[in-house]
Amino acid sequence: MDQLKRIDRKLIHRGTILDIYEDTMQLPNGKTEKWDFVSHRMGAACVLAVEPDGKILMVRQYRNALERETLEVPAGKRDSLNEDTSICAARELEEETGYKAGKLEKILSLKSTVAFCDEMIDVYLATDLQKLGGQHLDESEDINVESWKLEDLMEMCYSGKIQDAKTVAAIMAYAARR
């Protein structure tokens, strides 16, 4: 035998967004191992929003997995499997920041953590921003909006102060376009 093969997949937990599985994998040497697999059922979108002065809108919020606040680009999951990610990106921008994009352009697609998860995130660039009335947050959200210079965000990525994969990817993709 010369290839890896999944011989069983067992659902361990069904969550509101994620399903967690235990896979039994047959290795090329014939032995078996248990591997974790996380399925993100909806997919997501994030948006790097550039203000007229060139600053980038970021959101600061508490993340339970890290037990601290993080600085990120606005993002969220699709409402349905059929929802276009551009609609998701526009909605999340408006809800989390209170801004609407005059122009929204997809710049990148990524898988967040390929070792154990299939989450797909489309990254959008938002320009021609218009300030609306304010944020429209979910009950469980407490999000502060901040404006940052691209150079400062890049330095925070390089120094490890920003570690969120979608945020790092969005910042670096935008920097490469400039």
Task: Say if CB 145 and CB 139 are below 8 A apart.
Answer: no
User: Which residues have a Cβ under 8 Å from the Cβ of 145 and sit 6 or more positions away?
Assistant: 57, 58, 59, 60, 96, 97, 98, 135
Q: Please give the model's pTM, rounded to 2 decimal places.
A: 0.89
Is 69 part of the annotated catalytic residue set? Answer: no
Backbone angle region of 67, left / alpha / beta, with phi > 0 → left and psi within -120 to 50 → alpha:
left
Burial 130-162 (b: 16+ CB within 10 A, else e): eeeeebeeeeeeebebeebebeebbebbeeeeb
For 16-59, what is each residue's pLDDT tens digit? 889 999 999 999 999 999 999 999 988 999 999 999 999 999 99
Given the residues 94, 139, 151, 155, the one annotated as active site: 139
> Rounded to an integer, what distance in angstroms lies between the CA atom of residue 165 and that of residue 56?
17
Band the pLDDT of 135: cuts 50, 70, 90.
low
Task: Tell me what the pLDDT averaged over the chain comes to.
Answer: 93
> Rounded to an integer, what distance in angstroms lies between the CA atom of residue 99 and that of residue 14?
34
Q: What domains can be seen in the chain, in order of their start residue?
A: 5-40 (no CATH), 44-177 (3.90.79.10)
Q: What does the CA dihedral 110, 114, 117, 118 come to, rounded to 10 degrees? A: 50
